Structure 1
Amino acid sequence: MATTPLDRARVARTALKLLNETGLDGLSLRAIAKELDVKAPALYWHFKDKQALLDEMATEMLRRMNEELLAGAEPDADWRTALTAAMRGLRRHLLMYRDGAKVYSGTHFTDLSYAAPMEAHLRTLTGGGFTPGGAARAWLTAYSYTIGHVIEEQSMGPDPARAEGGYDLAARAERLAAYPLAAAAGHEMFRDYDAGFEKGLAAVVAGIGATMLET
């Protein structure tokens, strides 16, 4: 049996390690317990169910990315540059984990790790002319775009566990032969996710500036 004390942080770190091997669907408390060399019921002292574990996993992911989220978030920094850099950092960290965006999305953080980067970026946005409410909406809009993009990217892109090359565009085009524009759209939607993310993020940031910034 394990001799290192079992705590929430250790369980979450182990779960994140297994996530890259099994994906979210294959991640179970039983598998985590086996990796930790403990009995599965021992985990229930720390997590009442899998969702509670996912909350802690997401919080651990946030702790690891905090330094990058805070980079450039200065009150006198250009808000467009700071917001763009933060969303790039968020995407990069989510892509470090298989199904990382699904784990991160919709969870409840278990401590205040989110508060410092949120405060810093809201301060940058308000310093750039946004009202407090507008700054919050601007942050949420860019954040939601990034989370959604990575969920789709990880769902439709190459699966490292199966060594597949991603969405089969040839098969898709064949199915959509009667719809040439929809068929051709596949190359834009399901290839070069880096470029696609950058184009979308630029549009989101420009839209935020056009519709949410006080003038």
Structure 2
Amino acid sequence: MASRIDRTQVVETALRLLNEDGLEGLRLRRLAKELDVQAPALYWHFKNKQELLDEMATEIFRRLFRSVMPAGGPGPDGRWPSWQEMLLRSCAALRRELLTYRDGGKVVAGTRMTDDSFAAPMELFLSHFTAVGFTLEEAARAWWTAYNYTIGMVIEEQSVHPDPVHPEVRDPAYDLDDRERRLGGTYPLAARAGRTLFGGTEEAFQVGMQIIVAGIEANYVKNSGG
């Protein structure tokens, strides 16, 4: 007998529960209860929690790609964006999408895509690099570096601001005044650096991306002999 719930229902419900309970609180029994089925019914679709997480991550990326792909084409002036603009725009969109899910960065980190929906956006991203002279290897490494920076930044950001509904609320463990009091006497530089590291996350992300773009540009010029 087939399950009376489908794969899409399971994933959509799991993503909703993720925002309520976080990754640690996402349990298959709770998910089954929410869907009003017995836990074994979930195994028609997913053998274990990791398979569910893989599909959740894939669905997050499907939603992201649907919003980003149109922006990958020509801009208002009819021109295609530069690779720099494409990289900044795409990673900013990735960050925004992941921040809408509690523990969104952790969910996608290390998961495996369950279909090939990622291939078309990746082809478009890589084409921006190769069109101006990057080798495929250089293009792939450039994109992979920026992508992993974005994922890592989101994970760190969500440890400071864990609730996507109230992103202005800071985890008490990251109280900056308390951090400066604890460290200031012995480690004054490390104490003051907390304002930069855990303060304005939007500015921190943008500055980090600018550093990555500058590094990609410098490495490309060096390797091309330009």
Specify if TM > 0.5. Answer: yes
8 Å Cα contact 1:74-1:123 kept in structure 2: no
Instruction: Output the amino acid matched with 2:56.
Output: M
Give yes or no for the alignment of 1:165 onto 2:170: yes
The Cα of 1:182 is off from its aligned counterpart by 0.2
Give yes or no for the alignment of 1:92 onto 2:89: no
More deviation, 76-85/22-31: 76-85
The Cα of 1:146 is off from its aligned counterpart by 0.3
Residue segments in structure 1 that go unaligned for 5+ positions in a row:
none
Instruction: Output the amino acid matched with 1:139.
Output: W
Query: CA offsets per residue over residues 134-160 of structure 1, 9 Å max, x none?
Result: 000000000011000000000122546
Give yes or no for the alignment of 1:117 onto 2:121: yes
Residue of structure 1 equivalent to 2:77: none
Residue of structure 2 equivalent to 1:41: 40
CA distance in 1, matches of 2:206, 2:134: 23
SS in structure 2 opposite 1:84? Answer: helix
Give yes or no for the alignment of 1:144 onto 2:148: yes
Instruction: Output the amino acid matched with 1:124.
Output: H
Residue of structure 2 equivalent to 1:174: 181
Q: How many residues align?
A: 212
The Cα of 1:74 is off from its aligned counterpart by 4.4
CA distance in 2, matches of 1:161, 1:114: 27
TM-score (norm 1): 0.92
Residue of structure 1 equivalent to 2:49: 50
CA distance in 1, matches of 2:83, 2:18: 34
CA distance in 1, matches of 2:162, 2:37: 34
CA distance in 2, matches of 1:85, 1:109: 22
Instruction: Output the amino acid matched with 2:96.
Output: R
Query: CA offsets per residue over residues 105-136 of structure 1, 9 Å max, x none?
Result: 11000001111100110011111221011000
8 Å Cα contact 2:105-2:154 kept in structure 1: yes
Q: Residue 84 of structure 2: which of 80, 84, 89 is its match?
A: 80
Residue segments in structure 2 that go unaligned for 5+ positions in a row:
75-79
Query: CA offsets per residue over residues 141-187 of structure 1, 9 Å max, x none?
Result: 00011000000000122546899523111221122121000000000
8 Å Cα contact 2:103-2:162 kept in structure 1: no
* Percent pairwise identity: 54
CA distance in 1, matches of 2:193, 2:133: 37
User: Aligned Cα RMSD in Å?
Assistant: 2.0
The Cα of 1:196 is off from its aligned counterpart by 0.7
Give yes or no for the alignment of 1:209 onto 2:208: no
Residue of structure 1 equivalent to 2:204: 196
Instruction: Output the amino acid matched with 1:128.
Output: V
